[in-house]
């Protein structure tokens, strides 16, 4: 049973509840573009996970089968409890090193790029974390934790972390000493120097208290969310590539062969001396901090939001059928997700070429549906084609309505581009 798939509807219900709480309390913890960007990275991560989950599961199963020192009984309650606690201990070290080593931060930084803090931030996940994360959980296999127990406690750990991404829950008394709470986790997402590199636990704050990485939220030091060098983009693909690109550029620019190799595994923020001298990176002054924002008309926002709902449905469908379709079908599904979410990101950034790219996306729906039928991803019947035509025509009509205000604005003045966009290709170190 896939606990994450079952939880998806509850995620969206709770996000709606938080939106209502925002309205009632007169707060503004959501913006449409930021929320869609967070959810887009989450949808892309989930789709990528359908293709890469074998990396972690297969290696774990092989280690359990051939290297386990014990064989713990899956039916014993104490095994589940022990596995739950040990999983969080392993997660602490994965999470901590994810902030302390360049190549691991390149993957994990995606989760920290949002300058808002709400339940959509919880779903903002990396698509490349699978590359190294499996290594940190091999000790559980060596101890003899059965794969079914491992998979279940991993899902429970991830589900727990959802609710702590909110500003609406204050400190929770004695629980602050034991568990990761919203207050503890707000500190973790801060870019304030006082809060950097703190509170790494997934469920238990005990590890941070034990290993000296705990920091309490201070009312006198309001949390500023985001990364110290902003992403300055609504594109989920660039969100996943940003820091890798920075490392690659620095590795290419340095004249030292040793630095070209070791930069990937050095402490986060480390750069070759010759590159740092020639290409300095200025960090953001929090006193001058302004959230990344691009003005869009209501029609443009409504159009992107409506199209994003389609990709939420596609992502849920892919999760549901993943075990029943061939790998080629999943590759097609991932490609559709990645390209579609890229286009929506371009629309949110109001790129001059975004409307043409959106037209290309709509035109590609027909061959994509044909391939989906050929690969067994979907049952294609005449009604399916009729629905696709109706969707495409409605989308064209909606795109036309959404673009009219933007075209009128462009005829009177050039669209202003935020200064942060100049930082698009810079790396970011975040707590």
Q: Please say if the pLDDT value at position 199 is more than 50.
A: yes
371 alpha carbon, distance to own chain's centre: 28
If asked whether residues 34 and 174 sit together in one domain, one would say yes
Segment 324-349 shows an average pLDDT of 97
Which of 190, 211, 232 terminates a domain? The answer is: 211
Q: Does residue 269 fall inside a structural domain? A: no
258 in any annotated domain: no
Question: Which token pair is 350?
Answer: 């109001």
Mean pLDDT within 223-250: 95
What would the pLDDT profile of 133-192 be if each residue is shown by its tens digit?
999 999 999 999 999 999 999 999 999 999 999 999 999 999 999 999 999 999 999 999
Residue 231: inside a domain: no
Residue 415, pLDDT above cutoff 80: no
Average pLDDT, the chain: 92
pLDDT confidence bin for 418, thresholds 50/70/90:
very low
Count structural domains, the chain: 2
Q: Which of 211, 246, 263 is the last residue of a domain?
A: 211
244, 247, 248, 249 alpha-carbon torsion, rounded to 10° = 120
Residues 57 and 201 in one domain: yes
Do the domain assignments include residue 128?
yes
Q: Is residue 272, in this structure, part of any structural domain at all?
A: no
Domain that holds residue 325: 298-403
pLDDT at residue number 422: 42
For 265-288, what is each residue's pLDDT tens digit? 999 999 999 999 999 987 778 888
245: in domain? no
**19 occurs within a structural domain:** yes
What is the predicted pLDDT for the residue at 243?
Answer: 96
Q: Are residues 136 and 39 in the same domain?
A: yes
Domain final residue pick, 211, 228, 260 = 211
Looking at residue 202, its pLDDT comes to 97
Same domain for 24 and 122: yes
- DSSP characters for 299-325? HHHHHHHHHHHHHHHHHHHHHHHGGGS
Consecutive H or E run containing 56: helix 32-67
Same domain for 156 and 18, yes or no, is yes
Q: How far apart are CA 263 and CA 250, in angstroms?
A: 8
Residue 21 lies in a domain: yes
**Domain match, 332 and 206 both:** no
The pLDDT, as a whole number, for residue 424 is: 42
3-state secondary structure of 280: coil
Supply the pLDDT for residue 426.
Answer: 42
How far CA 216 is from CA of 56, 176, 212, in Å, comes to 34, 9, 12
């Amino acid at each position: 049973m896939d606990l994450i798939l079952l939880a998806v509807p509850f995620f969206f219900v709770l996000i709606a509840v938080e939106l209502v709480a925002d309205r009632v309390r007169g707060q503004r913890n959501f913006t449409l573009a930021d929320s869609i960007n967070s959810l887009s990275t989450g949808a892309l991560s989930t789709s990528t996970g359908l293709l890469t989950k074998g990396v972690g599961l297969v290696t774990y199963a092989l280690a359990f089968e051939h290297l386990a020192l014990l064989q713990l009984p899956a039916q014993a309650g104490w095994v589940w409890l022990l596995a739950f606690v040990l999983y969080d201990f392993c997660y602490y070290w994965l999470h901590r090193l994810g902030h302390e080593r360049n190549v691991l931060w390149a993957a994990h930084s995606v989760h920290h790029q949002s300058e808002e803090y709400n339940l959509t931030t919880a779903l903002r996940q990396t698509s490349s974390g699978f590359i190294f994360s499996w290594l940190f959980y091999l000790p559980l296999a060596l101890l003899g934790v059965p794969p079914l127990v491992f998979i279940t406690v991993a899902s429970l750990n991830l589900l727990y972390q959802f609710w702590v991404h909110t500003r609406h829950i204050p400190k929770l008394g004695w629980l602050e000493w034991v568990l990761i709470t919203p207050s503890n986790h707000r500190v973790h997402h801060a870019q304030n120097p006082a809060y950097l590199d703190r509170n790494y636990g997934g469920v238990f704050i005990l590890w941070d208290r034990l290993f000296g990485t705990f920091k309490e939220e201070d009312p006198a030091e309001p949390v500023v969310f985001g990364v110290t060098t902003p992403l300055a983009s609504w594109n989920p693909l660039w969100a996943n590539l940003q820091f890798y690109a920075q490392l690659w550029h620095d590795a290419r620019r340095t004249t030292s062969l040793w630095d070209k190799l070791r930069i990937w595994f050095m402490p986060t923020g480390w750069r070759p001396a010759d590159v740092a001298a020639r290409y300095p990176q200025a960090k953001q002054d929090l006193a001058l901090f302004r959230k990344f924002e691009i003005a869009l008309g209501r029609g443009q926002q409504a159009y992107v939001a409506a199209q994003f709902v389609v990709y939420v449905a596609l992502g849920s469908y892919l999760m549901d059928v993943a075990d029943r379709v061939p790998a080629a079908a999943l590759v097609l599904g991932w490609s559709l997700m990645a390209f579609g979410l890229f286009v929506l990101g371009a629309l949110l950034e109001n790129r001059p070429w975004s409307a043409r790219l959106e037209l290309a996306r709509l035109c590609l729906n027909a061959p994509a549906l044909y391939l989906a039928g050929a690969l067994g991803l979907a049952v294609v019947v005449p009604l399916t084609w009729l629905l696709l035509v109706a969707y495409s025509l409605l989308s064209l009509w909606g795109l036309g309505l959404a673009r009219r205000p933007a075209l009128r604005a462009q005829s009177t003045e050039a669209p202003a581009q935020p200064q942060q966009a100049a930082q698009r290709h810079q790396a970011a170190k975040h707590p």
